[in-house]
Every structure is written in structure tokens, then in C-alpha cells.
Structure 1
Amino acid sequence: MRGVDEELVERVDAEDRALGTVSRWEAVREGWLHRVATVVCRDTQGRFLVHRRAHQLTRFPGHYELGVGGAVAVGESYEEAAARELGEELGARATVSLRFKFLNTVGFSPHWLGVCDAVPTRLGTPDPSEVAWHGWLTDAELQQAMRQQPFTPDSHDILDRYLACHPRRAS
């Protein structure tokens, strides 16, 4: 597996059209647009999967996060990247569907963020180098946690956009 500095991504334009291949590190360093995928997981009861990032991570260590995701590799779709990251980080498999994408300018570097969703039937063993904790939260519990705990900068925007596209379920 490549290190984060060696990951190859597609540099894209403001319309999400590929311009060429660069390293993820170079894209972040130069502020070039590239693609990132995340998957919002819900269970059959409508609860959200939330995780806390490992403390040794360089980006937002110890922060909570709504989506599981990472950079989209060259030639990979948002769905493929989200499914891969779900497996790598949480040991889970699920059918992943792209719901929307937006130009995300909060956080570490600007990027197109493809937000997918999935209903995993089973979670495996989380990768401890990525995930310190994970659990299922109702809508109300998630809203409270987001007011009280440090979440990654894009988690609030992802949740707002996700809920705008999906009806709320009773919590």
C-alpha cells in the first residue's frame, strides 16, 4: 500500500474534469483540486455511524467524523473509493451509492467531495491506525455530539447536505 505522500490522484478543475495525475501530497501542498470520497453509513434503524480518528493521524487527530473516506485514486470512481476506504478503515463491506458531490473548501485542502451512503450489514475490525472508536448514533445523539465534540470541519456540511437530500427518520 502506498503512503499518503505517494498516493496518485487526478488533479481536477472547477467542473471536476481531470487535468492530469499528481501525488496527493503535491495536490494538497499546491492547493490543487482533486477528488475525495466519503461514505455516510446508516443502519436499518436509521442510526448514523460515527468514528473518532486515531490520535497519531496528521490531519484532525482525535476528531470525530461522520463519513469514512479518503482520496480517490487515479481511474477510481467516488463509489469505488468510498467502498475501498470503508473496508480499509472499518473492515466493512456494503453497496455504496453516490448521492451528491460538492466543492469542499473547508479543512486541509480544497477538493471535490463525493458523498456516498451505505447500509453495512456488518462491521469488521477497525484499523487502529485510522480509527480510535466507532459507534452508532441516532439523529438526536449525533446532533448533540456535533455541538459538544470536535468533529472534522466537513462533517457539519456533509450532514446538512445529506439531511437535505434524505428524509429524517424518527430517532
Structure 2
Amino acid sequence: MSAADEILDIVDEQDQVIRQAPRGEAYAQNLRHRAAFIQARDAQGRVFVHRRTPTKLVFPSLYDMFVGGVVGAGESYDDAALREAEEELGVSGLPRPTFLFKFLYDDGAGRTWWSAVYEVRCELPVSPQVEEVAWHDFLTDDEIERRLGEWEWVPDGLAAYARLTAYREETAG
């Protein structure tokens, strides 16, 4: 089965399932669905950053500071977060990612999805999927901040990053 054939839950503004559709149809018709975003940090606290492959259906060849992806039909956000993190990092036995918050991503041009944001510590050696990840490294928070204006980042990841930064500032003080 290709990625475009994967069945997704299509949801409304309140994140309630209204029907199901193949991923390709959801993308082509801008149907609201669900996604999980996981910030993975190594033992030194650095963030896993990668550039997506040019064959990705959405945001090909752009940089991302999250691993993750769509939530399959009938799948929970928590299960999708663990599955996606292990798949994209190329590890097994990862601790269950910690849920932080959820928001409705909307690019203003019709692309919208409910986005659950997680964090996880990955102390295992990573071996990212070559179909998903063209380049990767673990970067410090300062390195990411420096690269924000230099690299072309996935827009939904930037939205999640801004919300995560605000969330951390709120919970720290």
C-alpha cells in the first residue's frame, strides 16, 4: 500500500471524526485530518533535525525539527506518536512520547490538520528511514534558532515550534 492509499480519519473543527478517506484524497481535497509532531532529543538534550526527502507528498525537501506524521484511521494520537517516532528515527523500544498540547494548524490556503505535539528522549542510535529523511543531525536549541532564518522549514513544524516555545515559557514561569 502506498502512502497515498493509507486511510485517515477526517475530522471537524472540534477534532471529531466525520468520515474516512485515503491520504491522497485528504491531501488533494484539503480535508482536515490528524497529525502527531514529536520533538526528539538525544542524551545531551539536542533536538533531532532533518530534511525531508524530495519524494514526500507534503513539504518535500524542507527542514523539520519534529518527527511525526499523520494519524491513521482509528489510531490514537499517542499510538501514532510512538509509531511515527520509531519509524522516522529508525529505532525500536523508544519510551512512549509525552503529550504536551494539541492545536489546529491552518495554513490559510485550505490545508488544515489537528496537530498533537509530543516530546521524547531518544538515547538509542538513530537510523532514519531513507524514504523519509534525506539528511539529519542533532542540533542544540541555539543552533536551531540560528538556522530558522537560513533554512526553509516545513510551515506546520514552524507553527508547532512557535507554540512549543510559548508553552515551555508558560510552564517554566
Q: TM-score, normalised by structure 2?
A: 0.88
Match of 1:124 in 2: 126
Match of 2:3 in 1: 4
Mapping 1:19-168, distance limit 5 Å: 19-92=18-91, 93-106=94-107, 109-167=111-169
Q: 1:78-121 CA deviation, whole Å, 9 max, x = no partner?
A: 12112111122221323212211111112882111111111112
Provide the C-alpha distance between the structure 1 equivalents of 2:54 and 2:37, rounded to a whole number of angstroms.
Answer: 20
SS at match of 2:38: strand
CA contact (8 A) 1:90 1:131 kept: no
SS at match of 1:128: coil
SS at match of 1:150: coil
Provide the C-alpha distance between the structure 2 equivalents of 1:26 and 1:62, rounded to a whole number of angstroms.
Answer: 22
Aligned length: 167
SS at match of 2:130: coil
Please, which moves more after superposition, 35-44 or 7-16? Answer: 35-44
Provide the C-alpha distance between the structure 2 equivalents of 1:6 and 1:61, rounded to a whole number of angstroms.
Answer: 18
**Pair 11,58 (structure 1): closer, same or farther in 2 beyond 3 Å:** closer
> Unaligned regions of 5+ residues in structure 2, if any?
none
CA contact (8 A) 1:28 1:108 kept: no
CA contact (8 A) 2:30 2:110 kept: no
Give me the CA root mean square deviation. 1.9
**Pair 58,35 (structure 1): closer, same or farther in 2 beyond 3 Å:** closer
Q: TM-score, normalised by structure 1?
A: 0.89
CA contact (8 A) 1:42 1:48 kept: yes
Residue 33 of structure 1: CA displacement? 1.0
Residue 167 of structure 1: CA displacement? 4.8
Please, which moves more after superposition, 49-58 or 144-153? Answer: 49-58
